[in-house]
Structure 1
Amino acid sequence: MTMQLPMREARFTIGEVVKHRLLDFRGVIFDVDPEFANSDEWYEAIPEHMRPRKDQPFYHLLAENAESSYVAYVSQQNLLPDEEGIEVDHPAIAGLFEGFDGARYRLRPQHRH
């Protein structure tokens, strides 16, 4: 018999490189909220047919797509592991992380707690 993890349990960790399940971008996780913690305006701006449940982890990403780099806030249900093994091109990475092993970045010591 297999046990299902509660939806609130984070599947991804800080420093992990992930990609969006539906949209064409990828990023490195720099923070995790155990459940939705953004504004109602942000949530309502998501098309209703794509709106994720609020009772799941949400991840803050240093993200990139073909055109730019930015910060993204993404629900767990919309993330997949990124298996390309390629670094994320975002100017804020060097300030938070050091070293990339092909799957994840190592958090700088001053940012660990």
Structure 2
Amino acid sequence: MLKSQAKYAIGQVVRHRLFPFRGVIFDVDATFSNSEEWYAAIPEEVRPAREQPFYHLLAENEEDYYLAYVSEQNLVADTSGEPVDHPDLPELFGEFENGRYPLQFPLN
């Protein structure tokens, strides 16, 4: 069944359900839109369905900052109230407030 409505929003802080990282959503694909190689590299027993929203995250863990592409089924809302420290955040978002980041729009 195709799920067309995204559960999470751009600027929202989320956590991965299985792995120890969190991040800020900066884009959403209505269904899987990455490469076949990327999809095939996921072990079959944990490979997510393609017919769900996939989220692009500015992600962080204890050691590093990176970009992540995660299925909706593998995300949960982050309720820590803590900001994310990803160095690319200021390029896309304003200051952390009320548990989320507002989009930063050019003023020109």
Q: Is the TM-score greater than 0.5?
A: yes
Residue 21 of structure 2 is aligned to residue 48 of structure 1: no
TM alignment of 1:18-33, pairs within 5 A: 18-33=14-29
Answer 1 or 2: which has greater strand percent: 1
Q: How far, CA to CA, are the matches of 1:103 and 1:34 in structure 2? A: 24
Letter in 2 for 1:48: E
Q: Per-residue deviation at 1:15?
A: 0.2
TM-score normalised by length of structure 1: 0.90
State the Cα RMSD in Å: 0.9
Unpaired runs of at least 5, structure 1 = 1-5
Deviation per CA, 1:18-76: give whole Å up to 9, x if none.
00001110000000000000000000111111100000000000000001000000000
Letter in 2 for 1:96: L
Residue 53 of structure 2 is aligned to residue 57 of structure 1: yes
Contact in 2 for aligned 1:36/1:57 (Cα 8 Å): yes
Residue 13 of structure 2 is aligned to residue 17 of structure 1: yes
Which contiguous aligned blocks of 4+ residues in structure 1 show a shift greater than 3 angstroms?
Answer: none
Q: How far, CA to CA, are the matches of 1:20 and 1:8 in structure 2? A: 21
Identical columns (%): 57
Unpaired runs of at least 5, structure 2 = none
Q: How far, CA to CA, are the matches of 1:32 and 1:7 in structure 2? A: 13
Letter in 2 for 1:21: R
Contact in 2 for aligned 1:28/1:61 (Cα 8 Å): yes
Q: How far, CA to CA, are the matches of 1:54 and 1:43 in structure 2? A: 9
Equivalent residue in structure 2 for 1:69, among 54, 65, 72: 65
Contact in 2 for aligned 1:26/1:82 (Cα 8 Å): yes
TM-score normalised by length of structure 2: 0.94
